[in-house]
Structure 1
């Protein structure tokens, strides 16, 4: 089992002018330390308008910065929202591919539909459309990464003419594709499409085993690839997977404070039970009040990788026994200094045994899945992408409806450029004449 980190960049109020700056700088320091410690991947979510709960609104920016301070740790979108009103498929392909080059091929392409009222409503997305938006955008973004040129698409939510989208990813044919799975049915869908399942797991490792077994059973029996490269993997993420490691359980709890349950509380607030006034509602204050009424909301040993190395090691072994390929440990509001030491302790005292067992497990899994993958690949449907029209070309000035020019600044700019060239030529000619006369 691989062990990774997950960032949402929560930032409880009250805020000072430097808090957001420090949040990202601390995150970069932590990811650099995680790379040296041996964590597999750093996963970074994308959310919008979820103040206090998540300030990770442009994950590709942070991951690009992290790519320059790390060497081995993989960089995961966990997830990028695919509905076109949020991210156009061509822009998705461009950003993922660019990050892949900057990181020397370390990108994991996690995808999602979006689900909160804040986000769907903020971008004027009908919740009934988000699954088909995701499906169309996934197809188009992957085709943009792999076709030279992309031959065009016309769907219900995405319409795009032929263009050669550049750059292409470093990983060929594209980075591994994942989808966020909040329900067992979503895990089944991921297996059917032969892509990775970013599976939320709130009920512990015992129940997770059934989900893992179900993923691979569905993959074998029904898997039909929808992307050029398949990704038969399932990982676990959830509110019960916070991390803080220290010399003792008591010290770990002290450094975590009450922040361990903020992820789960934030989900409930923004996705289910809360009413939120932008810029006014204090989510952290509401959480603190809830913790006073029920201290168990703050979590502790047994509800996350929280405690001494022995405690955390035992906790992780339970998830390893479920057969899950990767576990992602959340970084809720906590002490930055404590987190840096926590990462160091994990690298020194916890991760080595899991890394050793994982390398053997990956080899055994590859041998076990080889005949299964042959069956899955045999179910691959022929591409329905249109052939590229070799006679197609574009050019000239942008025009609006009725053929009227809508970009008057372009001919004006060209005229100014030409005028400048004429003047420069005249001045050069005059200078030559003066030089000849004086000579």
Structure 2
């Protein structure tokens, strides 16, 4: 089992002027340490307008910076929103491919639809359309990464003419593709499409085993690839996967404080029960009030990788026994020092044995899946992408309604040419006067 980190960049109020700057700087320092410690992947979410709960609004920017401070840890979008109003597919392809080059081929392409009123409403997306938008955008973004040129697409939600989208990713044909799965039916869908499942698991390792077994059963029996490269993997992330490691259980709990439950509370607030006034509602304050009423909202022993090395080791072994390919550990709000110590202890005392066993597990899995993948690939449907029209070309000035012409460039070029003519005339006059 691979062990990775998950960044939401929560920032509870009250805020000082330097808090957001410090948040990202601390994150980069932590990721650099995680790379040296041996964590598999750093996954970074994308959310918009979810103040306090998540300030990770431009994951490609942070991951690009992290790529220059790390060498081995993989860099995952966990996830990028594929709704065209938020991220047009061609722009997704450009950003993913650019990061893939900057990181020397370490990108994991996690995708999702989005679910909150804040985001769907903020970008004018009808929730009834989001699955269809994701499906179209996934197809177009992957085709933009792999076709030379992309031959065009006209769907219900995405329409784009032929263009050669550059750069192309370093990983060929494209980085591994994942989808966020909040329900068992989503995990089933991921298996059927032969892509990775980023599965939210709040039920512990015992129930997770059923989900893992179901994913691989559906992959074998119904998997039909929708991307050029398949990605048969399932990982777990959830409210019960916070991380705070210290020399003793008592010290870990002290450093964790009440922050470990903020992830789940934030989901409830923004996705289910909360009413939010932008820039006014104090989410952390509400969380603290809720913890006073019900202390179990703040996580303790057994509800995450929380405690001494021995405690955390046994906790992780339970998830390893479920057969899940990877788990993602959440980081506590405003806990930079504790997080840094946790990463160091994980690297020195816990990760090595899991990394060693994972290397063997990956080799055994590849051998076991060989005949399964052959069956899955046999179900691959022929591409329905249109052939590129070799007579197609574009050029000239952009024109719009009412015969509007975007003439900025011709005017600028005329001004440049006029300046050149004047300069030449002045130079000639100066030579004549001197001669």
| TM-score, length-scaled by structure 1 | 0.98
Task: Give the match's secondary structure for 1:306.
Answer: strand
Deviation at 1:335, TM superposition (A): 2.0
Asked whether the 8 Å contact 1:235–1:324 carries over to 2, the reply is yes
Deviation at 1:301, TM superposition (A): 1.4
Write out per-residue CA displacement over residues 218-265 of structure 1, whole angstroms, 9 at most, x where no aligned residue: 000100000000000000000000000000001001111110000000
Q: Distance in 2 between matches of 1:188 and 1:421?
A: 65
Deviation at 1:296, TM superposition (A): 1.1
Which residue in 1 is equivalent to 2:171? 171
Asked whether the 8 Å contact 1:256–1:334 carries over to 2, the reply is no
Write out per-residue CA displacement over residues 130-157 of structure 1, whole angstroms, 9 at most, x where no aligned residue: 0000000000000000001000000000
Q: Distance in 2 between matches of 1:268 and 1:437?
A: 82
Q: Distance in 2 between matches of 1:277 and 1:199?
A: 30
Deviation at 1:290, TM superposition (A): 0.7
Write out per-residue CA displacement over residues 84-119 of structure 1, whole angstroms, 9 at most, x where no aligned residue: 000000000000000000000000000000000100
Write out per-residue CA displacement over residues 155-212 of structure 1, whole angstroms, 9 at most, x where no aligned residue: 0000000000000000000000000000000000000000000000000000000000
Quick one: structure 1 residues 391 and 312, their matched pair in 2 at CA, closer, same or farther if it must change by over 3 Å? same
Q: Distance in 1 between matches of 2:418 and 2:89?
A: 40
Asked whether the 8 Å contact 1:50–1:118 carries over to 2, the reply is yes
Aligned residue-pair number: 435
Deviation at 1:271, TM superposition (A): 0.4
Asked whether the 8 Å contact 1:301–1:307 carries over to 2, the reply is yes
- Counterpart check, 1:438 vs 2:424: no
**Is the deviation greater in 420-429 or in 297-306?**
420-429
RMSD between aligned residues = 1.1
Asked whether the 8 Å contact 1:397–1:405 carries over to 2, the reply is no
Deviation at 1:420, TM superposition (A): 1.8
Which residue in 2 is equivalent to 1:347? 347
**Is the deviation greater in 124-133 or in 415-424?**
415-424
Write out per-residue CA displacement over residues 6-34 of structure 1, whole angstroms, 9 at most, x where no aligned residue: 00000000001000000000000000000
Task: Give the match's secondary structure for 1:75.
Answer: strand
**Is the deviation greater in 197-206 or in 407-416?**
407-416
- Counterpart check, 1:295 vs 2:291: no
Write out per-residue CA displacement over residues 291-326 of structure 1, whole angstroms, 9 at most, x where no aligned residue: 111111110110000000000000000000000000
Task: Give the match's secondary structure for 2:382.
Answer: coil
Task: Give the match's secondary structure for 2:111.
Answer: strand
Spell out structure 1 runs of 4+ moving beyond 4 A. Answer: 433-439
Q: Distance in 2 between matches of 1:314 and 1:427?
A: 83
List gaps (5 residues or longer) in structure 1.
none
Q: Distance in 1 between matches of 2:433 and 2:425?
A: 17
Task: Give the match's secondary structure for 1:110.
Answer: strand
Deviation at 1:438, TM superposition (A): 5.1
Task: Give the match's secondary structure for 2:78.
Answer: strand
Q: Distance in 2 between matches of 1:415 and 1:230?
A: 52
Deviation at 1:434, TM superposition (A): 5.1
Task: Give the match's secondary structure for 2:392.
Answer: coil
Task: Give the match's secondary structure for 2:62.
Answer: helix
Task: Give the match's secondary structure for 2:327.
Answer: strand
Task: Give the match's secondary structure for 1:27.
Answer: helix
Asked whether the 8 Å contact 1:191–1:197 carries over to 2, the reply is yes
Write out per-residue CA displacement over residues 335-388 of structure 1, whole angstroms, 9 at most, x where no aligned residue: 211110110000000000000000000000000001111111111000000000
Deviation at 1:423, TM superposition (A): 2.0
Q: Distance in 1 between matches of 2:393 and 2:427?
A: 38
Deviation at 1:426, TM superposition (A): 2.5
Asked whether the 8 Å contact 1:11–1:55 carries over to 2, the reply is yes
Asked whether the 8 Å contact 2:40–2:74 carries over to 1, the reply is yes
Asked whether the 8 Å contact 2:46–2:80 carries over to 1, the reply is yes
Deviation at 1:418, TM superposition (A): 1.6
Which residue in 1 is equivalent to 2:78? 78
Deviation at 1:332, TM superposition (A): 2.5
Q: Distance in 1 between matches of 2:396 and 2:430?
A: 41
Write out per-residue CA displacement over residues 251-287 of structure 1, whole angstroms, 9 at most, x where no aligned residue: 0011111100000000000000111111111100110
Asked whether the 8 Å contact 2:11–2:334 carries over to 1, the reply is no
Asked whether the 8 Å contact 2:194–2:232 carries over to 1, the reply is yes
List gaps (5 residues or longer) in structure 2.
none
Q: Distance in 1 between matches of 2:214 and 2:255?
A: 37
Q: Distance in 1 between matches of 2:156 and 2:432?
A: 70
Q: Distance in 1 between matches of 2:108 and 2:420?
A: 48
Asked whether the 8 Å contact 2:82–2:88 carries over to 1, the reply is yes
Asked whether the 8 Å contact 1:257–1:334 carries over to 2, the reply is no
Deviation at 1:427, TM superposition (A): 3.4
Q: Distance in 1 between matches of 2:198 and 2:240?
A: 15
Which residue in 1 is equivalent to 2:427? 428
Q: Distance in 2 between matches of 1:367 and 1:222?
A: 20
Q: Distance in 2 between matches of 1:67 and 1:109?
A: 15
Alignment of 1:211-360 (within 5 A): 211-360=211-360
